Structure 1
Amino acid sequence: MPSLHSLIAGLGALGMLSLPLHPHPSGSTDRVTPGAVRVESTSHVSITLLDDRSVIQQIVREYDTDLADGSGFTVTPDGVVVTATGVVQSSRDPRVYAANKVFAEYFKVKIPADFSRHSLDDADLNRRLQACYPPQGPNSTCIATVTTNVTVFPYLDPPLPDGLPAQILTTGTSPAAPAVLKVTKGGEKQTLPTVPMGVSLGQSVVALDVISFAGRPSAKQPAKAETAHLDPPGTRTFKQEDRDKLAKLLKDGASGGALIDDNKSEVVGLLAGDSSTPLTITPVEEIRTSLVAAGVTPRRGPVDVVYESALASYHNKLYAGAVPVLLQVLNLRPDHAVALDHLKVARSKAGTAEDTGNRPSPSAGPAEKRSSGVSPLLWVGGGAVVVIVIAAVAMPALLRRRRSGAGQPAPAPDGSWEPGRHEDGHQEAARQDAVPVSSWPPARTQVFEAHPFDAPSFDVPVAATPAPGTPEVPERAQDARPVEVRPLDVRPPGDPSPPRGQAQLKFCTQCGMRLGQGHRFCGFCGHPADSR
């Protein structure tokens, strides 16, 4: 017979079949959007041009140039961010840009200020220009050092105009590989919103949501969500009809953006690609490997915990209940952009017809109107499970009652209690040492005991208070010690004990019930019988 727990679980599963699944009103993005960020990287180049045509001269210049930009997501509340390597380590070499700039300025020649290598008609200047381009060698005419500056812009309202400075912890060997960053300022209070990280890009994943920013996040520049589908499911290949729109997203800064499993609302990868890299899915397994290499464990913060609690009410349209929880989110993080937006909506709909928590429960109508639309087979199956559950619960109790009834005598006709009768059952010790029922003497059977001498002997009963919870017993069974009535030659006047040569009666010192003949344990409570 299946266990009671399994039966109840099965009944619950049947009940769930009649409930509609709750689709997330905002898709899967609401859990992730607060932790989405924009990442911008720039390069600071310090270059020294050497002119040795007559007297050696050193021309030093400092240049700042935009390197790349894209999207990313925060994985710890103190500001660890994941993006694509191509966002912080562009294929464009800033030293080439600096060589073009310094050469054009010093030698007064026309060279575009870009990242391409050029040539000049003047052979001597052209030789010097080519020697100025990297890599640096013993005959180089330029010496350059590059510093990469990375800035993270969280999705906050009001936005941070200068963003948060960050350092690069690790990068990959390709532009699509994960890069791990850490903000150096702004994460001290550990209140930055984070994203829920998945474990793997499962074989059943069909739809993915891409979260990205085309510019610096603000209320006027919210996160952009686009849905794409995998073909076949669980692979790293998008359907052909989705590739064009994803390519357009990459041009607008989607590289490094989070890929969200539309079913579980978890980040399961990042999107990458640029002019030199095709559209690529980097799965979450590679992201976690990069985090381990950087010594980082993804985790959620207190702001995320309260925020997801607010989402539970908000997305079930319990707007009045969502308002105080959203306010608590803003107490922890006053510039939480998504919480601010949800709070406006919740306040406007609280107490209205759209507020599910404000709707009265439907009144009972005619039987035909109360039909739930659930399949009759479901009710039949549920009823069968209920019957099995009731049988599983009741059968052991019935068997115990039958065993108790078969092994214990009923009360005597005069209302006196018989040995071993008890509603709560017996202890194991009493059952092991008790004499079989068939050998029990009748209720009035007495045990004869020869007295070693004929001198008068009295056992004085000592009254005892029954233990709490002990059932009421007749007054004659409430002695705390076994009372022995021994055969005597002389009995005091009015002594109710049996005459000489008659029975010896014993009672349990624990519960007061009468002991059966030869019993070493009380058949009522299992307490050892006193012996002399």
Structure 2
Amino acid sequence: MARLTALAGGLAVALVLLAAPAMAHNHPSGITDLVTPAVVRVEATAHVDITLLDHIGELVHVERSYDVPIGSGTGIVINPEGGIVTLTRVVKTDRDVAVYAANRVFAEHHKVKIPADFARHKLKDDVLNHHLQECYPPKTPTATCIINVTTNITVFPNVSPADPKGLKADLVKAGDTLDSPAVLTLSGRVLGSLGMPTAPLADKVPDAAGSPTNVAGFLGRPAPNLPFTVDIAHLRQGGGGDSQGRQFADPEKKVDEPVKLGKLIDEGFLGAPVIGDKDGHVVGMLFGGGQDGRMIGVREITAALAKAGVAPRRGAIDSAFEAALTRYHTKYYTEAASGFQRVLELYPGNVVAAGLLKISLQKRGTAEDAGTKGAVSPTPRSLPLWPFIVAAAVLLVAALVGAFLLWRRRAPEERVEEPPAPVATASPQQPFDEGANPTVVVRRSQPFQVVPRQQPLMTANEQPSVKYCTECGMRLGPAHRFCGYCGHPIET
């Protein structure tokens, strides 16, 4: 009976667990919403102040200032204080901006044809060419140019309305190569009293070939007509080392993903996050361009952050946003709407939260809203719970009835078999009384109970002869050879 009851209970629990997905509110996988609020546009320029000392004729100081673009791309905010990781190539260049400034100032002042590029040129006029070569760095005692270069980094957050001025940032730590991570921190104001939204970093990169990912970035400065862009990509098996990075390939071979990603990188996805499909965390960062786009793994990102002394951390805005996002993806639109409103109070201008709030308000109270009591029907993926509960109850009742019937069948076998009492021949003087000492069947599980017995009939001249069992102490009848209680033979 115990086994059947346990089996019935286990089956009932299993049925309830099968119905659990209908009630579960787990956060869905394969989404980019956790990361996109923390995606920013990064632009870097070199501000060059140059003074040309023209002493061919009278000594003349020619002062000019130039803003030379270094790079642009996408960055990822990794803590509320404004810690940002991007690609070193976005904020640092291997070209000498001082050479560019020398070409510009010399061409403008001396009215000669010199390309406005980063190459060192020569002039046919020996005197002008000598002065031009002395203008190029490095600085010497006879230099004809005094050059000062400062790097300006501007971050444009993903907010609405767009911030036209952006936020100033400082380069904390550049990578050893141009295709390695660089760490920035905001040097000025931070939007919101609680900081900025951040992107969660994954523990590792998926190993399997064809692992689905998403990439997100900006193709220019954020604007109403230029929002962030999201695309899909698939990882190849393994990687080629830190210098080569992880490659991409479409397992169905419908799209040449390295070429597609290379084009996106050239348009602004340099340093863009690669988002894992499992939990929506950042697994890497894009680099390359042209005909080949690749990925730096998350371990290289965390190593660069550790060297720079900048710790990735999530904030209060992220907690509120993730809670609202969970309600949204599980179709609890009424609760999601209030959650997104709270996020916008903490961080005004959150583009992603504002967009999801608009959808939640449209679906709030409708049949699609799982939190509405008057919902017409459950969602296609949700199964009603009551059939499972009824089935479990029926199964449990059937198991209990079967166990009871089985117990009834086995009950006679469990009774104690007593040896039959011998039939004694009554003496002529004393007639045999069948009710003088009846056999008593007592279960071992029942408490001890003394059953009263009738006294034998005797004549006036006879004296009662009382005997007791020497084994258990029960009173014996005169005709019994065995004890009716324990079966012990009567000693003669």
TM-score (structure 2 length as normaliser)? 0.68
- Contact (CA 8 Å) 1:29, 1:265: kept in 2 or not? yes
Deviation of 1:370 after TM superposition, in Å, equals: 8.5
- Contact (CA 8 Å) 1:32, 1:196: kept in 2 or not? yes
1:171 has 2:174 as partner: yes
1:89 has 2:103 as partner: no
Please give the per-residue CA displacement for 1:351-398, whole angstroms capped at 9, x wherever unaligned.
Answer: 2233233364769xxxxx989999xxxx99xx99xx9xxxxxxxxxxx
1:510 paired residue number: none
1:300 paired residue number: 314
2:416 paired residue number: none
Given the alignment, which residue of 280, 283, 296 partners 1:268? 283
1:99 paired residue number: 102
Greater shift, 347-356 or 198-207, is seen at: 198-207
2:273 paired residue number: 258
Given the alignment, which residue of 203, 224, 227 partners 1:199? 203
Deviation of 1:107 after TM superposition, in Å, equals: 1.1
CA distance in 1, matches of 2:144, 2:237: 54
Change (3 A) 1:51 1:255: same
Deviation of 1:58 after TM superposition, in Å, equals: 3.6
- Contact (CA 8 Å) 2:261, 2:289: kept in 1 or not? no
1:44 paired residue number: 47
Change (3 A) 1:128 1:356: same
CA distance in 2, matches of 1:218, 1:17: 46
Please give the per-residue CA displacement for 1:478-529, whole angstroms capped at 9, x wherever unaligned.
Answer: xxxxxxxxxxxxxxxxxxxxxxxxxxxxxxxxxxxxxxxxxxxxxxxxxxxx
SS of structure 2 residue aligned to 1:307: helix
Given the alignment, which residue of 127, 131, 134 partners 1:131? 134
1:244 has 2:254 as partner: no
Pairs within 5 Å for 1:334-349: 334-349=348-363
- Contact (CA 8 Å) 1:28, 1:262: kept in 2 or not? yes
Change (3 A) 1:314 1:362: closer
Deviation of 1:279 after TM superposition, in Å, equals: 3.3
1:213 has 2:214 as partner: no
1:396 paired residue number: none
Given the alignment, which residue of 289, 299, 303 partners 1:289? 303
CA distance in 2, matches of 1:355, 1:73: 33
CA distance in 1, matches of 2:230, 2:132: 46
Please give the per-residue CA displacement for 1:425-469, whole angstroms capped at 9, x wherever unaligned.
Answer: xxxxxxxxxxxxxxxxxxxxxxxxxxxxxxxxxxxxxxxxxxxxx
CA distance in 2, matches of 1:45, 1:84: 23
Change (3 A) 1:243 1:12: farther
Q: Percent identity?
A: 40
1:325 paired residue number: 339
Change (3 A) 1:56 1:310: same
1:513 paired residue number: none
Deviation of 1:92 after TM superposition, in Å, equals: 3.0
1:114 has 2:114 as partner: no
Deviation of 1:18 after TM superposition, in Å, equals: 8.5
Higher-Rg structure is: 2
Amino acid aligned to 2:231: E
CA distance in 1, matches of 2:86, 2:180: 9
1:528 paired residue number: none
2:31 paired residue number: 28
SS of structure 2 residue aligned to 1:220: coil
2:474 paired residue number: none
Deviation of 1:315 after TM superposition, in Å, equals: 1.2
- Contact (CA 8 Å) 2:194, 2:347: kept in 1 or not? no
SS of structure 2 residue aligned to 1:252: helix
1:181 paired residue number: 184
Given the alignment, which residue of 74, 80, 83 partners 1:80? 83
1:404 paired residue number: none
Change (3 A) 1:26 1:142: farther
- Contact (CA 8 Å) 1:103, 1:129: kept in 2 or not? yes
- Contact (CA 8 Å) 1:47, 1:62: kept in 2 or not? yes
CA distance in 1, matches of 2:200, 2:186: 19
- Contact (CA 8 Å) 1:202, 1:234: kept in 2 or not? no
CA distance in 1, matches of 2:147, 2:55: 17
- Contact (CA 8 Å) 1:204, 1:234: kept in 2 or not? no
TM-score (structure 1 length as normaliser)? 0.63
State the aligned residue count: 381
Greater shift, 52-61 or 263-272, is seen at: 52-61
Structure with bigger RCO (C-alpha 8 Å, 6+ apart): 2
CA distance in 1, matches of 2:35, 2:15: 30
SS of structure 2 residue aligned to 1:38: strand
SS of structure 2 residue aligned to 1:351: coil
- Contact (CA 8 Å) 2:197, 2:317: kept in 1 or not? yes
Greater shift, 341-350 or 196-205, is seen at: 196-205
CA distance in 2, matches of 1:324, 1:302: 16
SS of structure 2 residue aligned to 1:253: helix
- Contact (CA 8 Å) 2:29, 2:277: kept in 1 or not? no
Change (3 A) 1:411 1:137: farther
Deviation of 1:317 after TM superposition, in Å, equals: 1.8
Deviation of 1:293 after TM superposition, in Å, equals: 1.2
1:485 paired residue number: none
